[in-house]
Structure 1
Amino acid sequence: MCNCFKSIGLLPVFSCLIFLIGLILCYGLAFLNHHLTVVLPTISATGSMPPESCYFTFFLASAGFLLTLVCFIYHSYVVAVHQDGMANFIGLLSGVGSGIGLVLVASFQFKYVPILHYVGMGLACTGQLIFGWCVVAVSYQLAPKVHG
């Protein structure tokens, strides 16, 4: 196997870190610029005004892209180790849908385009929930084949 794939397992960690760094940075900027009206705002409220909206879009869209990439890599791994099953395919669709939803949340602010923002939020949350359960199901099926 190519040496470039040895640390591919860190990709989900980077995706989560980019997401968390973006949230913390946007909250800090919104707090320092007095753009928040409550102490614990919603995630989207921290990125609703410039300049934090620019960072919000960048970090969430980057995390959405990496999330989609992670889903494709996981799907390819399962196909290489095991035959392609329905749970793996549903996991791929829901994971990609979740990544697209995260990009929608990042791109369309709830103040100006609330419908697309909430559709993206629904896709991101529901897609991740379904993807997580599909990973559990596929891992349960793969355990005897991978670990003997």
Structure 2
Amino acid sequence: MSSLPVSVPIWSPHCLATFSSLKPSFPSCFGQSRHTASPMTAWIVLPVSLSAFSITGIWIVYAMAVMNHHVCPVENWSYNVTCTEEIARPGFPKTCCTIQDIPLISKCGSFPPESCLFSLIGNVGAFMVVMVCLLRYAQVIEHSHRCWINTSALVSGCTNALGLVMVGNFQVDHAKSLHYVGAGVTFPAGLLFVCLQCVLTYRVAVTALDYWMAHVRVALAAGALVSLVLSGIFFIHESFVLQHAAAICEWVFTVDILVFYGTFTYEFGTVTNDTMMVGLQQTHHHSGVMMGGAAGAMTLGMGAKGLKSPGGSSTSTHLNCTPESIAML
């Protein structure tokens, strides 16, 4: 007969002493390793994907619209009041253009099949924008910077995403009012978001590289501001040339904002599980959701600690110390 394995009592002096002191050796009593908040470097893919997917997508939409004779190419500056019906030549752009053929981004995505891709880009891009805004919001809080600027940046970023959904799903030639409402929301909200993020970048900057990134973002924000203002000024004129210039400025603004979102790759390499928890807990706190039990204790621990120690997670460990929970282990 084989001998039964001898089990070590859970109330052994070694385990009890270790449990009471809450030292890192505690989990070794149960054959478990201690959880550490290692950087989730996979998050660096999110900002890059947002920029690459959106910029590539809108240029594909533009190319499809040009080839399908729905808009004129951006290098065309000659427009007519009216045009006679011309025979479409596959693979060649239109030769006679009117003001309806100006290659505004919204105009490029007005008709199928490119309108389908345009809606997809708007919806997917809006989702990724919200994810970037939430992670950045939590990351700034994690560095003990709880301020109205960070909250305003989160609100403006989510508003920008809402406007993107409206722009992408309500085409300008089929639902003009809703489309213009979406454009009137997403452009100013996007500009406000990048401006607030410039301020936050300076606030949390520590190294020379951090300040260099802040300077780059200021340059991008300045370019976005100038291009948006010029686009609005040119758009209200009836001149064909100025309308075409407004379209170019709109393209510059959109690409500029998307490149700005891509720069968050610099910070997202340090996102950890604790960063995610900070964002979720703060979101629940502001929405009035009461978190109890261990989650509430973790919220208090996060709020007291604020700034993580380099390369690790928060040092506060909250455990349920009742005998029943130990017996379950």
1:6 Cα deviation after fit: 0.5
Q: Which amino acid is 1:39 matched to? A: P
Shift of 1:83: 3.2
Give the aligned residue type for 1:135.
Answer: Q
1:39 aligns with 2:73: yes
Distance 1:96 1:67 in 2: 7
How is 1:1-148 mapped onto 2 (pairs within 5 angstroms)? Answer: 1-2=37-38, 5-36=40-71, 38-40=72-74, 41-144=103-206
**Aligned equivalents of 2:45 and 2:146: distance in 1?**
24
List alignment gaps of at least 5 residues for structure 2.
1-36, 75-102, 211-329
AA aligned opposite 2:181: V
Distance 2:52 2:186 in 1: 17
Q: CA RMSD in A?
A: 1.7
Residues 98 and 128, structure 1, Cα contact 8 Å, conserved in 2: yes
SS at match of 1:28: helix
Shift of 1:23: 0.9
Q: Secondary structure at the match of 1:39?
A: coil
CA contact (8 A) 1:47 1:53 kept: yes
Question: What is the CA–CA distance in structure 2 between the aligned matches of 1:132 and 1:95, rounded to whole Å?
Answer: 9
Which letter maps to 2:53? I
Count of equivalent residues: 144
| Aligned residue identity for 2:41 | K
Separation in structure 1 between the aligned mates of residue 137 and residue 118 of structure 2, nearest angstrom: 28
Listed one character per residue, the Cα deviations across residues 78-107 of structure 1 (whole Å, up to 9, x for unaligned) are 111123210000000000000111111001
Take 2:108 and 2:73, find their aligned partners in 1: how far apart are those partners? Answer: 11
**Larger proportion of helix:** 1
One-letter amino acid of the counterpart of residue 29, structure 1? M
4+ runs deviating over 4 angstroms: none
State whether residues 18 and 62 of structure 1, in contact with CA within 8 Å, keep that contact through their aligned partners in structure 2: no
In structure 2, give the amino acid aligned to 1:7.
Answer: A
Sequence identity of aligned pairs in percent? Answer: 31
User: Partners in 2 of 1:127 and 1:34 — Cα distance?
Assistant: 32
Q: What TM-score, normalized to structure 1? A: 0.89
Kindly indicate whether the alpha-carbon contact (under 8 Å) linking 1:109 and 1:117 is maintained by their aligned counterparts in 2.
Answer: yes
Alpha-carbon offset, residue 144 of structure 1:
4.5
* 5-14 or 127-136: bigger deviation: 5-14
TM-score (normalised: structure 2)? 0.42
State the 1:28 CA deviation: 1.6
Structure 1: segments with no counterpart, 5+ residues? none
